[in-house]
Amino acid sequence: MSDPNAATTPVPFRGGGFKPERIRFVGLAVFLALVAIAEWGTRAGWISNLTLPRPSDVLSTFRDLYDTGLLWKHLIPSLTRLAVGSVLGVTIGIGVGVIIGLFSMVRAGLVPLVAALFPIPKIALLPLFVIWFGIDEGSKYALIALGTFTPTVVATYGAVDNVDRTLIRMGQSFGLSWWSIVRKIVLPGALPGILSGLRISLAIGIILLVAAEMLGAQYGIGAYILEAGSLYDLERLFAGVVILSALGVLTSAVIGWVEKRMLAWRI
Amino acid sequence: MQLILDSVSHRYGDVRVLSDVSLTIPEGQIVCIVGPSGCGKSTLLRFLGGLERPGAGKVLQSGPLPDGCLNPLTYVFQDFALLPWRDVTGNISLVLEDHGIKGAKAARIIDDVLIRTKLSDFRNALPKQLSGGMKQRVAIARALAVSPAVMLMDEPLSALDAQTRELLMDDLVSLWTRTPFTAVYVTHNLAEAVRLGHRIVVLSRRPGTIRDVVEIDMPLDQRRAGNPTLEAHQARLWQLMREEAEAADKELSNV
């Protein structure tokens, strides 16, 4: 220890890492870099026009779409279908999920049913829905509703299961009524899990929206993409895809905003 | 109000946790229950407050409730059990809302308990902003808000560091000195037991039975850490518990 001849070296640092940090604008930079590479490649010619459309062409197609008013003609029916369908599916899903979480009898009865519904590709049921709910909007609402319902149920009853039992014991020990415990302890405690389930449900909702519109709709982003695809019009195809991506980012941002507002109590 | 345990026994599956425990909690006293880990002391406390039913025996209450008592048997939990999404005031008003106490009447009760627990400056803080000691003060304030007949305290200071524990013990002593309350205080810390207990019940290892009941006559506010009488009591308690704790430690857990 006190040997004067011993060389001193600093203790090597072995900690750090394994901790997600919030870094802004990197996502945007990656996106812009990819677009720039595509633009450069298509202009320079080492990406052929058949492989990938030129990003600036996609942009001008998009501008045309906006100028002719077709954008809204396609976007508004799509957004309505997504909103109606997912509001239905999510609301019923949260309700059923909470009931499954609270009552063992309901859990025993419904969890196998939900497990059986979950892996069915809902789009396979569209013909059935067309018969049940009609060829127009009804079948699309039902498809999106069913698609968002199952993941919401699973996320919700999982979230209810994960509510801290000591908090529920506490509520009981203070003589809170059953309804008060559900409203003031179980539901707020399950909210983080429900919201993160909602991210998945809404993404599935968007996928099903497009699928439903591809199978039978005159207007809508899905119909637009299908038409562009069958004409091999890559610019229009990509314009449609960009709209879908934007829709995904938007819903995710909305949920992020709600989480920030309603879950400020979390560490 | 008095609480009476009448030959209570209990088993979880094949494991007998309590065997023939009879005990009276007299009004206005703090009864400490000590014992090695797994001896069923927390189970006993859950029986006393009606959160669980004993397999055999009876849990009885007798005598009138204090004035304005909203929840006769009120717990203070080891892990505080505060709602993280409600601030200090909200956590206390939670237990008043169900009794229809809102507005000015609730504010009066909340102000009173916050002053008694020295929390008046923290009324709008969320639990995540508070230290462990402060969180337990909030839980104690919440318990006081319903003017309980008996406080059931389940290792309330075990999640706190040694200094905070000293401070909170002093607070509990001054709370009791100002208005004596009845309490059952479960702990594995003998120093806490001799500081706060009028009567200390020593449980044996599983299946828990009462090994001894030690009474300490010294008034709570005269008890200081390092007092020779208390040290003697603590040494005697440790003597009683040592073998039990050792044996309990070596037991294989099959729960």
Residues A44-71 have pLDDT tens digits of 989 887 888 889 999 999 899 899 988 8
Q: What is the pLDDT of residue B38?
A: 75
Question: Nearest CB to A170: which of B73, B77, B86?
Answer: B77
pLDDT mean over B27-39? 87
Interface mutation target, options A174, A260, A263, chain B, most CBs of B under 10 Å: A174
Average pLDDT, chain B: 88
The tokens for A117 are 């519904």
Contact flag A173-B79 (C-beta cutoff 8 Å):
no
pTM, whole model, 2 decimals?
0.83
Spell out which residues of chain A touch residue B79, defining contact as CB-CB under 8 Å.
166
* B144 and B193, same domain (yes or no): no
| ipTM for the predicted complex | 0.86
CA distances to A99, A187, B1, B47 from B184, rounded to whole Å, are: 37, 32, 13, 12
* CATH number for B36: 3.40.50.300
- All residues of chain A having their beta carbon less than 8 Å from the beta carbon of residue B84 are 265-266
CB neighbourhood size of A115 (10 A): 11
Identify all chain B residues contacting A172, using CB atoms and an 8 Å cutoff.
51
B81/A176 CB distance under 8 A: no
Residues B148-206 have pLDDT tens digits of 999 999 999 988 888 888 889 989 999 899 888 899 999 988 888 988 999 999 988 87
Q: Is the pLDDT of residue B255 over 50?
A: no
Q: What is the DSSP letter of B222?
A: G
- CA B174 from centre of chain: 16
Q: What is the CATH number of the domain that holds A70?
A: 1.10.3720.10
The candidate with the shortest Cα–Cα distance to B98, out of B88, B87, B106, is B106
Residue B9 C-alpha, separation from nearest chain A C-alpha, in angstroms: 22
Is A53 part of any domain?
no
In whole angstroms, what is the distance from residue A105 CA to residue B113 CA? 42
Domain boundary among B92, B118, B148: B148
Number of structural domains chain B divides into: 2
- Model confidence at A4, pLDDT cuts 50, 70, 90, reads low
Domain span at residue B24?
2-66+154-253
Lowest mean pLDDT among A14-23, B20-29, B125-134: A14-23
- pLDDT tens digits for range A147-184: 999 999 999 999 999 999 999 999 999 999 999 999 99
Looking at the structure, tell me whether residues B54 and B92 fall in a common domain. Answer: no
Two tokens, residue B249 = 């430690």
Judge whether residue B254 has pLDDT over 80.
Answer: no
List helix spans (H) across chain B: 41-48, 88-97, 103-116, 132-145, 162-178, 190-196, 228-250
Task: Name residues 96-115 of chain A within 8 A of B (Cβ).
Answer: none
Q: Which domain holds residue A96?
A: 66-262
Round to whole Å and give the CA distance between A142 and A127: 12
The answer to whether residue A1 sits within a structural domain is no
For residue B84, is pLDDT > 90?
A: yes
Q: Min CA distance, B240 vs chain A (Å)? A: 32
Give the pLDDT confidence score for residue B253 in this predicted structure: 61
B69: left (phi over 0), alpha (psi -120 to 50) or beta: beta
What is the rounded average pLDDT of the residues B76-84? Answer: 92
Closest CB from B51, B83, B126 relative to A172: B51
Count structural domains, chain A: 1
**B9 located within any domain:** yes
Question: Token digits for A162?
Answer: 């994960």
Please report, rounded to a whole number, the percentage of residues in chain B having pLDDT higher than 90.
Answer: 36
Residue at a domain's end among B148, B164, B182: B148
Q: Provide the number of CB pairs (under 8 Å) joining chain A to chain B.
A: 51
Please give the C-alpha separations between residue B218 and each of A26, A165, A167, A258, B135, in angstroms, as whole numbers.
Answer: 68, 39, 37, 57, 30
Q: Do B163 and B51 have their domain in common?
A: yes
CB contact under 8 A, B49 and A173: yes
Concatenating the DSSP letter of every residue in A65-107 gives HHHTTHHHHHHHHHHHHHHHHHHHHHHHHHHHHHHHHH-HHHH
Residue A81 has pLDDT above 50, yes or no: yes
Q: How many CB atoms lie within 10 A of CB B196?
A: 23
What band does A3 get if pLDDT is binned at 50, 70 and 90? low
